[in-house]
Amino acid sequence: MVVGDFLSASHCLQNGRVCAKSNSNPEGIPSHKIFVFDGFGQDIGHPLGRPWHLTFYPQEDLGFTYLGLTIEHYCHRFEVVPPSKRTDKIYVLGRDRGYFHPPTPQLFRPTIFTEVTNATGVKFTVGTVQPENEFETNSDIWPGLDDIGSSSRDEFMSELQHHRALLGIGRPVQPSTPLEALCVGTPFINPVWLGRRSIKDRSKWHSQHPYLARFDPPYVYNVQDHREEDVLEAVQAILKNPLTEPFIPDDMKKEAYLERIENLIRKDWEQVAHQTSKLE
């Protein structure tokens, strides 16, 4: 079994001379042994189909194989800081300053942070990559944000530990950071831009973190885009009912992850390929 990212696996599958098995390369790697590991379900067109695509998050409805990820081995190094010892701040998920400007879709008005601060006293922190040129296009961030700049991974986890919540603004989509935040008892405010008020099936929602959209407070607060009052209500609820324990979804726990890996390794993929009539 060979697992590559969407670039290397695609290159191998298309190269029948030196990588993938072919008539001209009989000693190459059989296509049923080549898997693509792409966390976000990027379909590279594997000749045997989507089951050979491994993803971070469940997307079985699209035919991908859910491998998942586990963060326990790292985040459990960091304790859950009691609410009484946390700062009255919320960390904003937005490392790239371009997220605060078009063409990136803007889900809230730029004054949202000052508005929520004025109403609750809670302040907002962000850690962006500093622009090389202060006059660089889209180098500004929204008012009411304290930009602490880049930090090491351990320093970033410490920030998550000591903030009241993690707030998404739409990008990046489905990162692992909200899972790490929940693991240290920091809830996630997840913006939804389609479906929250009209579709009961949350898997059909369009949100920053579709996987976490299935969860409710006190872990995840799903808020509607362009409804700043939803964000304000979420912040008020978090202050009133903070998390005091770590939260890791059952299917993201180490045991479940290792079980999926074992199933992946033990499965007869050659037989599956024959059953799909895509392997001669």
Which residue ranges make up each domain of the chain?
Answer: 2-69+253-275, 73-249
Mind listing the pLDDT tens digit for each residue in 109-161? 999 999 999 999 999 999 998 666 555 555 689 999 999 999 999 999 999 99
Mind listing the pLDDT tens digit for each residue in 63-108? 899 999 888 889 999 999 999 999 999 999 999 999 999 999 999 9
Give me the chain's average pLDDT, please. Answer: 91
Contacts of 150 (CB under 8 A, 6+ apart): 127, 128, 129, 130
- SS3 call for 186: coil
pLDDT of residue 131: 61
pLDDT at 21 over 70: yes
Q: Which fold has domain 73-249?
A: Rossmann fold (3.40.50)
Contacts of 125 (CB under 8 A, 6+ apart): 89, 90, 91, 92, 145, 146, 147, 148, 159, 163
**Residue 43 burial class via C-beta count within 10 angstroms: exposed 0-12, middle 13-18, buried 19 and up:** middle
- DSSP letter at 58? -
- Label the pairing between strands 145-147 and 206-207: unpaired
Contacts of 120 (CB under 8 A, 6+ apart): 232, 235, 236, 239
